[in-house]
A = this chain, B = another copy of it.
Amino acid sequence: MINQLISKIQLVDKFSGEDIDLISKYLTEDSIAKNDHFLNFGEISRHVAFIGTGLAMHYRLHDGVEIPVDFTPEGEWLAYLSSFSQGTPSDMGIKALEDMRILKLSATNMQLLFQAQPKFMALRSFYTELSFMSHAQHSADLAMLNGKERYARFMKEKPHLINRIPQYYIAAYLGIKPQSLSRIRKESQS
- Complex: how many Å from CA A52 to CA B45? 34
From 5 to 43 in chain A, residues with beta carbon under 8 angstroms from any chain B beta carbon are none
- Complex: how many Å from CA A142 to CA B139? 9
Among B86, B121, B129, B138, point to the contact of A81 (Cβ < 8 A). B129
Determine whether A152 belongs to the interface, using a CB cutoff of 8 Å to chain B: no
Question: Do residues A62 and B131 form an inter-chain contact, with CB atoms below 8 A?
Answer: no
Question: Do residues A62 and B132 form an inter-chain contact, with CB atoms below 8 A?
Answer: no
- Complex: how many Å from CA A131 to CA B85? 13
Interface string of A123-136 (1 = CB under 8 A from B): 01100110111011
Question: Do residues B82 and A144 form an inter-chain contact, with CB atoms below 8 A?
Answer: no
Determine whether A175 belongs to the interface, using a CB cutoff of 8 Å to chain B: yes
Name 24 interchain pairs, CB-CB below 8 A, sorted by A.
A60-B140, A60-B144, A62-B144, A67-B144, A69-B140, A81-B132, A82-B133, A82-B136, A85-B129, A86-B133, A114-B122, A118-B118, A118-B119, A118-B121, A121-B121, A121-B124, A125-B125, A128-B132, A131-B132, A132-B132, A138-B139, A139-B142, A142-B143, A143-B175
Which among A67, A86, A119, A124 has the greatest number of chain B C-beta atoms within 10 A?
Answer: A124
A12 to B: closest C-beta gap in Å: 11
- Complex: how many Å from CA A41 to CA B118? 35
Q: Which residues of B contact A175 (CB under 8 A)?
A: 143
